[in-house]
Amino acid sequence: MKRILSIFKRDLKSGTREFLLLYIILAPILISIGLRFFIPSVDAISFQFALDETLNPEVIETFNKYGKVEILEGRTAIEDRVSKVDDIIGITQNEEGKYIVILEGNEKESSKYIAQQILNRLQGKTTEISASFSDIGTRMSSIAIYGTSSAIILAIVLSGMVIGLNIVEEKEAQTISALRVSPMGRMEFILGKSLIGVILPIVETIIVLWILGISDINFAMIFVMTIVSSLVAIIMGFLMGVLSSNQITAIANMKFLLIIVSASFIGAVVLPENLQVFLYWSPMYWSAIGLIKIVLNSAGWGQVVQYTLWILALTVFVFLIFRRKIEKRLS
């Protein structure tokens, strides 16, 4: 255990000395600080409206005076538009001629009433206008939801990259070759290197949640998802380390892995549910889905277990594919 902890401490010290490693460690925190300042500015943008094409042209013209208007076909299309990342208010009309204001539920307070106020202004021009509210979503800013989830995933992935860069440094210093004649076993070396890939994401997840003011969530679920997701990041880190002969090669490999992770997260956010089946192969897709739902407070333990099983199964599959290559390069 002492030898394992000594490797962890050495990697941690190396991370504080090397600028690149220090930047990788601090990147999720710096991004979270930037998001914290950016989120309020999103609330300051002008109003956006998604209007049913069947509405009176006079109504559409009036809404045009108060913000950007998008004309859509039917209530379903309006609800789909309101559910997207940006802040937009939906307006449609039922068969009785009653106007319905559709909100996602996480809009700023003024958005809840602006559409009704506009409709009230029209009462002198349009007869029998009344409005009701239809809440279809959550109580948190979309930027906060996806920003928090992406920052946590970034913390997980970059922690694996720290492992990879530390292995490259060990190779350049001929430390790995010296393992053959040292009392330290290969498994102790692997566990010692892996430790930072588990502890660092947990610590950074706590910091990210604190910076972004996310407190009304199930922390047990977050930590379970973070720890399980870190396993695949550790394997990615070892693979990057053993395949890279120097830091430049490691950075190139890191960029390739980040593209895969980014594609998984973006796909989980923007792709329709029926197309997300093409992302089932990616462990980070399941991490993204799980973290987003946990931050939204819409995930139960059954779903979390389902996502973690997917991640574990895919992680084992990846490990079995690259196990011999990693062992060979570390020997």
Q: What is the DSSP letter of 141?
A: -
Q: Count the neighbouring beta carbons within 10 Å of the beta carbon of residue 190.
A: 18
The span from the CA of 244 to the CA of 249, in Å, is: 5
Q: Report pLDDT for 96.
A: 79
The string of pLDDT tens digits covering residues 80-92 is 888 887 778 888 8
10 Å CB burial of residue 175 (0-12, 13-18, 19+) is middle
The string of pLDDT tens digits covering residues 209-233 is 999 888 888 999 999 999 999 999 9
Q: Count the neighbouring beta carbons within 10 Å of the beta carbon of residue 119.
A: 19
| 156, 199 contact by CB (below 8 A) | no
Q: Report pLDDT for 134.
A: 55
HSE of 47 in the Cβ direction (CA atoms, 13 Å)?
22
| 264, 284 contact by CB (below 8 A) | yes
The string of pLDDT tens digits covering residues 129-153 is 455 555 555 556 677 888 899 999 9
Residues of the chain with pLDDT under 70: 11, 14-16, 39-46, 107-112, 123-141, 173-186, 330-331
The partner residues of 132 in beta bridges, in order of sequence, read: 100
Q: Count the neighbouring beta carbons within 10 Å of the beta carbon of residue 124.
A: 8
The predicted model scores a pTM of 0.69
Q: Report pLDDT for 304.
A: 93
